[in-house]
């Protein structure tokens, strides 16, 4: 059979197009990372400098020594880790309940959680500001950790419910036939099987908290300030300090990108609250 | 309380040797276990929500300058809402208009572009898993940093103008009143088109093969099998994706705040930015809170309507 040259060149063109499109989406990120290693002059050069620059580490030096970026990273880590762990701890029993029991108004309650998740942070942040002031919790880690639960717990329940429902209930039943209590059956059978899903959920919640801006920005000032809100420091009266900003952005986004690539398999269901399996 | 179809706690002991413990367990009401398990989540989430909702509503009924203590607040009833909706100096209507443009300006191109690229990626090709991995990156970047790099790239001497000049010979002033909203929209399209690509690609890959084979046997053209099979089968998923994005776009704050903070003028003041500007820039806590409550009502109502629409379409399909 003669090869169909028209369709072969056609698919070649489509391959190239795909490559181009994907690169176009990656490019702004690559340019951001490369700019962290450019001098101020090179950042503002027109036409832009793409590859022909001498890499410098001065901006990284600057943010670690002068801007004390480690302090903000520490805050971000404390808040993100604590809020994530607390979320998972609270959400696992609730998830199990939604996935394994039948009770009245189950879907109604589940949707109730989902609707609370829809509330925009910016719409209640100033009310929270007054609450924090009244409780003397403004600019503390603990307040942010708890506030984030409002969004994280419903998200975790919706995400993990799918994972639990995917585990056959017969496994637990047979353990109970063998004399295990319901809790023991859950701990020994279901929990290990849902561990992957829990880990993925935890990572995605961590990413969400790590990146969160509006609540962190208006509910902290100096003590509990997080990484994303440090952008205010780069906007000075003498203009924006682009070099340190790019260095911070590079460091701040690195863990998230690595984590996201780690849980890539779960990413689609994560984006859709478990509605779509990837 | 309805009885479960198969409740292992009830059914299992008939076979297993009964223990004292389990006898006791059987006498407990059936709703107790699920209720206890949900309780911590319910208490925490609804406590935070109720407390904030209560203070938000309270703030929306007073006249208070931001920065002053709450005891200086003066009760004004529902005047703040009335002012926002009817006063000639209120820019709430303008914010609604900007929000609508922003919604359509992001969702339509993201859907079309995302679907087209998903179709492009839905072929046997080397490196496909690498491509989908790369597409995750814009979605997970820190939005505040995305806003800042957006600001630099849309600078007059920035990256975007460089490519514009290369292609069309002209540079634009993206920081101006006319184009700022478009700049913000383009940043969102870059950030979130991959969302559509990844979800729709996952959907395309799980489509059944049989209808397409049958169509080919019947001599259907590529366009026919796309418009008559792919599209209807994908419709529920397209709607789900749109709803999820719809909620997110409507509450987006950080990127626009960092890029242009709602300006110049009110050209990028979407509803979330309007809340911020009223509360913190004009320091009017009452009107800001009233606007917040209307934003919440708008999001929840429209989303519920969209979910209902999607359910109806699902049944018809």
Comparison of pLDDT for A172 and A235, the residue scoring more: A172
Residue B228 placed within a domain:
yes
B98 and B239 part of one domain? yes
The token duo for B72 is 């200086």
Residue B81 placed within a domain:
no
A-chain residue closest to B146, CA distance: A249
Give helix A69-100 / helix A141-165 axis angle, nearest 10°.
40
Model confidence pLDDT, tens digit, residues A191-245:
999 888 898 889 889 999 999 999 999 999 889 999 999 887 887 777 778 888 8
Q: Contact, A175 vs A107, CB < 8 A?
A: no
Residue B20's pLDDT is 47
**Mean pLDDT value across residues A167-196:** 89
Q: Contact, B231 vs B207, CB < 8 A?
A: no
Q: A150, exposed or middle or buried, with CB in 10 Å at 0-12, 13-18, 19+? A: buried
Q: Do the chains contact at A28 and B138, CB–CB below 8 Å?
A: yes
φ/ψ (deg, to 5) at A143? -65, -45
The token duo for A214 is 């509006």
Work out the pLDDT band at B17, boundaries 50, 70, 90: very low
The token duo for A139 is 């600019």
Concatenate the DSSP letters of all residues of A199-265 into one string. HHHHHHHHHHHHH--HHHHHH-SSSS--GGGGHHHHEETTEE-HHHHHHHHHHHHHHHHHHHHHTGG
Contacts 24+ apart (CB under 8 A), A235-241: A240/B148, A240/B151, A240/B152
Q: Contact, B288 vs B279, CB < 8 A?
A: yes
Chain A CB contacts of B8 below 8 Å:
169, 172-173, 176, 182, 185
H/E run at residue A87 = helix A69-100
B151 and B238 part of one domain? yes
Q: Contact, A128 vs B52, CB < 8 A?
A: yes
Q: Would the pLDDT of B104 be above 90?
A: yes
E-strand ranges in B6-122 read 62-63, 74-75
**Mean pLDDT value across residues B17-26:** 50
B150 and B246 part of one domain? yes
Q: By residue range, what is the domain housing residue B4?
A: 1-29
Into how many domains does chain B fold? 2
The token duo for A210 is 């790590």
B105 and B21 part of one domain? no
B146 and B239 part of one domain? yes
When scoring B14, B33, B45, B199 by the number of chain A Cβ atoms within 10 A, the one with the most, hence best to mutate, is B45
B130 and B266 part of one domain? yes
Q: Do the chains contact at A276 and B48, CB–CB below 8 Å?
A: no
Q: Would the pLDDT of B2 be above 70?
A: no
- For A137-148, b/e burial (b = at least 16 CB within 10 A) is bbebbebbbbbb
**Mean pLDDT value across residues B103-109:** 97
B22 and B96 part of one domain? no
Around A170, how many Cα atoms within 13 Å sit in the side-chain half-sphere?
1
Q: Within 10 Å of residue B282's Cβ, how many Cβ atoms?
A: 12
Residue A233's pLDDT is 80
Residue B301's pLDDT is 92
Chain A CB contacts of B11 below 8 Å:
173
The residues, any chain, with a CB within 8 Å of residue B80's CB and separated by 6 or more, are B60, B61, B63, B286, B287, B289, B290
- For B85-111, b/e burial (b = at least 16 CB within 10 A) is eeeeebbbeebeebbeebbebbbebbb
Residue B250 placed within a domain:
yes
Residue pairs spanning A and B at CB distance below 8 A: 277
Residue B196 placed within a domain:
yes
Work out the pLDDT band at B32, boundaries 50, 70, 90: confident
Q: Do the chains contact at B5 and A248, CB–CB below 8 Å?
A: no
E-strand ranges in chain A read 235-236, 239-240
CA–CA separation, A225 and A246 (whole Å): 19
Model confidence pLDDT, tens digit, residues B123-149:
877 777 788 888 989 999 999 999 988
Chain A CB contacts of B162 below 8 Å:
46-48
Helix, strand, or coil here: B75? Answer: strand
Q: Would the pLDDT of A84 be above 70?
A: yes
Residue A3's pLDDT is 58
Q: Which of B274, B279, B286 is nearest to B58 (CA)?
A: B286
**Mean pLDDT value across residues B286-306:** 93
In this complex, the residue of A101, A228, A267 whose CB is nearest that of residue B144 is A228
When scoring B5, B6, B8 by the number of chain A Cβ atoms within 10 A, the one with the most, hence best to mutate, is B8
Residue A123's pLDDT is 92
Q: Would the pLDDT of B191 be above 90?
A: yes
Q: Which of B30, B9, B208, B198 is nearest to B114 (CA)?
A: B198
The C-alpha of B65 sits at a distance from chain A's nearest C-alpha, in angstroms, of 12
Q: Do the chains contact at A28 and B149, CB–CB below 8 Å?
A: yes
Residue B58 placed within a domain:
no
Q: Would the pLDDT of B19 be above 90?
A: no
Low-confidence winner among A221-235, A261-275, B78-92 (lowest mean pLDDT):
A261-275
The token duo for B29 is 């009401």
Q: Which of B306, B240, B157, B271 is nearest to A123 (CA)?
A: B271
Q: Would the pLDDT of A138 be above 70?
A: yes
Q: Do the chains contact at A22 and B131, CB–CB below 8 Å?
A: yes
Q: Do the chains contact at B253 and A120, CB–CB below 8 Å?
A: yes
Bridge partners, A235 (sequence order): A240
Determine how β-strand B74-75 pairs with β-strand B62-63.
antiparallel
Work out the pLDDT band at B4, boundaries 50, 70, 90: very low
Residue B70 placed within a domain:
no
A-chain residue closest to B143, CA distance: A211
Torsion-angle region of A11 (φ positive above 0: left; ψ -120 to 50: alpha; else: beta) = alpha
Give helix A242-262 / helix A58-65 axis angle, nearest 10°.
90
Residue B193's pLDDT is 96
Work out the pLDDT band at B33, boundaries 50, 70, 90: confident
CA–CA separation, A211 and A216 (whole Å): 10
Q: Contact, B109 vs B189, CB < 8 A?
A: yes
**Mean pLDDT value across residues A8-36:** 88
Comparison of pLDDT for B67 and B6, the residue scoring more: B67
Chain B CB contacts of A228 below 8 Å:
142-145, 254
**Mean pLDDT value across residues B65-76:** 85
Q: How many separate helices (H) and strands (E) can be counted in chain B?
A: 15, 2
Chain B CB contacts of A126 below 8 Å:
59, 66, 275, 279-280, 285, 288-289, 292
Q: Do the chains contact at B149 and A122, CB–CB below 8 Å?
A: no
**Mean pLDDT value across residues A86-111:** 92
Residue B84 placed within a domain:
no
Residue A155's pLDDT is 92
Q: What is the mean pLDDT of chain A?
A: 87
CA–CA separation, B298 and A19 (whole Å): 40
Residue A274's pLDDT is 67
Q: Contact, B253 vs B272, CB < 8 A?
A: yes
Q: What is the mean pLDDT of chain B?
A: 87
B21 and B144 part of one domain? no
Question: Following CA atoms B239, B244, B250, B256 in sequence, which dihedral angle do they give, to the nearest 10 degrees?
Answer: -120
Q: Do the chains contact at B193 and A275, CB–CB below 8 Å?
A: no
φ/ψ (deg, to 5) at B215? -65, -40
ipTM of the complex: 0.88
φ/ψ (deg, to 5) at B173? -95, 90
Model confidence pLDDT, tens digit, residues B238-293:
998 998 899 899 999 999 999 998 888 889 999 999 999 999 999 999 999 999 99
Q: Which of B230, B234, B243 is nearest to B310 (CA)?
A: B243
Residue B3's pLDDT is 42
Helix, strand, or coil here: B260? Answer: coil
B128 and B218 part of one domain? yes
- Domains, chain A, with CATH or none: 5-56 (no CATH), 61-271 (1.10.3720.10)
Residue B269 placed within a domain:
yes
Q: Contact, A215 vs A125, CB < 8 A?
A: yes
Work out the pLDDT band at B1, boundaries 50, 70, 90: very low
Share of chain A above pLDDT 70, in %: 95
Q: Supply angle C-alpha B23, B27, B30, rounded to 5.
A: 125
Share of chain B above pLDDT 90, in %: 49
Comparison of pLDDT for A262 and B46, the residue scoring more: B46
Q: Do the chains contact at A15 and B257, CB–CB below 8 Å?
A: no
φ/ψ (deg, to 5) at B62? -125, 165
What CATH number does the domain containing B181 carry? 1.10.3720.10
């Amino acid at each position: 059979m003669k090869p169909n040259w028209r369709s072969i060149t056609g698919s070649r063109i489509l391959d190239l197009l795909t490559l181009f499109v994907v690169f176009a989406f990656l490019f702004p990120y690559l340019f951001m990372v490369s700019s962290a290693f450019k001098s101020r002059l090179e950042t503002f050069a027109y036409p832009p400098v793409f590859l022909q620059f001498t890499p410098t580490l001065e901006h990284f030096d600057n943010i670690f020594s002068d801007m004390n970026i480690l302090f903000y990273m520490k805050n971000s880590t404390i808040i993100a880790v604590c809020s994530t762990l607390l979320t998972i701890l609270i959400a696992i029993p609730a998830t199990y309940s939604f996935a394994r029991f039948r009770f009245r108004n189950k879907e109604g309650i589940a949707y109730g959680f989902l609707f609370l998740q829809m509330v925009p942070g910016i719409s209640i942040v100033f009310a929270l500001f007054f609450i924090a002031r009244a409780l003397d919790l403004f600019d503390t880690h603990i307040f942010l950790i708890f506030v984030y639960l409002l969004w994280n717990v419903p998200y975790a329940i919706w995400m993990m419910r799918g994972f639990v429902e995917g585990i056959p209930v017969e496994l637990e039943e047979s353990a109970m036939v063998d004399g295990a209590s319901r809790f023991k059956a859950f701990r020994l059978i279901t929990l290990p099987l849902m561990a992957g899903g829990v880990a993925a959920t935890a990572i995605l919640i961590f990413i969400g908290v790590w990146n969160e801006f509006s609540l962190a920005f208006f509910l902290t000032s100096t003590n509990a300030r997080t990484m994303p809100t440090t952008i205010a420091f780069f906007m000075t009266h003498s203009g924006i300090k682009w070099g340190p900003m790019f260095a911070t952005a590079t460091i701040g986004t690195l863990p998230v990108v690595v984590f996201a690539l780690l849980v890539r398999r779960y990413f689609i269901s994560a984006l859709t609250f478990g509605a779509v399996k990837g | 309380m309805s009885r479960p179809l198969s409740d292992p706690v009830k059914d299992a002991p008939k076979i297993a040797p009964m223990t004292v413990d389990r006898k006791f367990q059987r006498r407990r009401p059936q709703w107790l276990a699920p209720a206890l398990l949900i309780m911590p989540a319910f208490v925490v989430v609804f406590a935070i929500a109720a407390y904030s909702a209560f203070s938000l509503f309270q703030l929306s009924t007073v006249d208070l300058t931001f920065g002053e203590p709450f005891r200086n607040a003066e009760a004004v009833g529902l005047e703040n809402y009335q002012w926002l909706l009817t006063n000639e100096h209120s820019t709430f209507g303008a914010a609604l208009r900007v929000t609508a443009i922003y919604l359509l300006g992001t969702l339509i191109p993201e859907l079309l572009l995302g679907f087209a690229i998903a179709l492009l990626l839905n072929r046997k090709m080397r490196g496909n898993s690498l491509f989908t991995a790369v597409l995750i990156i814009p979605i997970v970047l820190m939005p505040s940093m995305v806003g800042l790099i957006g600001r630099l790239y849309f600078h007059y001497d920035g990256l975007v103008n460089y490519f514009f000049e290369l292609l069309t010979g002209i540079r634009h002033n993206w920081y101006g009143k006319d184009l700022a909203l478009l700049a913000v929209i383009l940043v969102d399209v870059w950030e979130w088109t991959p969302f559509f690509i990844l979800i729709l690609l996952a959907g395309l890959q799980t489509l059944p093969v049989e209808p397409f084979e049958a169509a080919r046997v019947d001599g259907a053209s590529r366009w026919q099998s796309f418009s008559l099979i792919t599209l209807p089968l994908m419709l529920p998923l397209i709607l789900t994706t749109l709803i999820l994005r719809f909620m997110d776009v409507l509450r987006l704050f950080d990127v626009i705040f960092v890029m242009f903070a709602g300006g110049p003028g009110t050209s990028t003041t979407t509803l979330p930015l309007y809340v911020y500007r009223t509360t913190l820039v004009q320091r009017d806590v009452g009107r800001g809170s009233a606007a917040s409550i209307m934003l919440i009502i708008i999001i929840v109502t429209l989303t519920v309507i969209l979910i209902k629409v999607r359910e109806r379409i699902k049944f018809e399909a």
